[in-house]
Amino acid sequence: MLHLFLLRHGKATKYQDDISDYSRTLNKQGTAQVNQLGYILREKGIKVDHVLASSAARTVETAEIVNHFLNCTSIQFEKSLYLAECNTILKLINLSGKGSSLLYVGHNNGISDLAAYLTGLPILMSTSQLVEIEFAFDDWKMISAATGTIKLDIKPDIHSF
């Protein structure tokens, strides 16, 4: 069985004229959300074999904070995943999947569209929300429409500062 963990990046700083969207970092709430999520994952004993993430600043931060709790040694950042659509994300997961579990850290709308596509359910992911999707096969290339089942859905309970 394969386990795909989809994680939308933490809450980011507001848009500013002098900072590109790609360079936006996590704000205090986002950092707290991601730390809480990482702690929850560690307490649940969750392990991943590979982390795949957009190379935008907020997704890199999210992946690195969560990985502090997971201790995965295989991390891959891809510029092509910045604001990527569902099909682009899926192709890279099909090609990059390693082991039996993968954590993908990305952006809306692509990550929500991917979760909905893989499960056949309407899903709109909030910041720092994690959805675990389980597949009844062992080949990452077989992941496609409505082949997965949601096993875990976590939304950190952090309020604005």
Residue 161 inside a domain? The answer is no
Nearest-CA neighbor of 102 among 60, 65, 74?
A: 74
Residue 20 inside a domain? The answer is yes
Rounded to whole angstroms, what are the CA distances from 32 to 6, 11, 36, 101?
Answer: 18, 9, 6, 25
Q: Tell me the pLDDT tens digit for each residue of 44-67.
A: 999 999 999 999 999 999 999 999
Residue 159 inside a domain? The answer is no
Sequential pLDDT tens for the chain (161 residues) = 999 999 999 999 998 888 999 999 999 999 999 999 999 999 999 999 999 999 999 999 999 999 999 999 999 999 999 999 999 999 999 999 999 999 999 999 999 999 999 999 999 999 999 999 999 999 999 999 999 999 999 999 875 54
Residue 56 inside a domain? The answer is yes
| CA 33/CA 38 separation, integer angstroms | 9
Residue 137 inside a domain? The answer is yes
Number of structural domains found in the chain? 1
Residue 77 inside a domain? The answer is yes
Residue 160 inside a domain? The answer is no
Any residues with CB less than 8 A from the CB of 31 and at least 6 apart, and which? 10, 61, 65
Nearest-CA neighbor of 38 among 56, 64, 60?
A: 64
H-run or E-run covering 86: helix 86-96
Please tell me whether residue 78 adopts helix, strand or coil conformation.
Answer: strand
In terms of residue numbers, what domain contains 124? 2-154
CATH of the domain at 140: 3.40.50.1240
Q: Tell me the pLDDT tens digit for each residue of 79-100.
A: 999 999 999 999 999 999 999 9
Residue 28 inside a domain? The answer is yes
